[in-house]
Amino acid sequence: MGCSGRSCPVHQSFVVSGSNKSLPATPKLRGAFWSALEQADPDVVAVNGWNNFGSLVAANCCLHRGIPMVVMSESSRQDEPRTRWKEAIKRRIVGLYSAALVGGQRHVEYLAEFPRMRRPK
């Protein structure tokens, strides 16, 4: 891919406000994200994390539209005590993403623990 010797495509980004941990996944938020996806028609979407309503709404919309997602994460095994049931849910959510963008080696190692998120070679 690259654009040496020719024009590079323009990439747009959209921010859907109000997508934080305290806001439930309302139809209004889903509609706003769906509209942003229709307008941008992206090849891929970067989603910030997996543990808040906004991220789950984004993932849901992308899945329904068939758009691959890249999860951005700074989670690591050392962040907090881990529980089996939470890790089981996380494993299913993380498995929806095509790739990951993480902050450092310990974050790579944590995501490599999930079956579908493998360490790059």
Q: Which pLDDT does position 62 carry in this prediction?
A: 92
Q: Which pLDDT does position 29 carry in this prediction?
A: 81
Please list, in sequence order, all residues whose beta carbon lies within 8 angstroms of the beta carbon of residue 105, skipping any fewer than 6 positions away. Answer: none
Closest CA to 72 of 94, 89, 40, 39: 94
Three-point CA angle 35, 41, 43, nearest 5°: 135
Q: Which pLDDT does position 116 carry in this prediction?
A: 64
pLDDT in tens, the chain (121 residues): 456 555 656 555 555 544 455 555 578 888 888 888 998 888 889 998 887 888 888 888 999 999 999 988 888 787 888 888 888 888 888 888 888 888 889 888 888 887 665 333 3
Q: Which pLDDT does position 5 carry in this prediction?
A: 57
**Separation CA 89–CA 98 (nearest Å):** 17
Q: Which pLDDT does position 22 carry in this prediction?
A: 55
**Separation CA 46–CA 70 (nearest Å):** 5
**Which residue shows structure tokens 């891919």?**
1
Pairing mode, if any, of strands 45-48 and 99-102?
Answer: unpaired
Indicate the Cα dihedral angle 77, 70, 66, 57, nearest 10°. 60
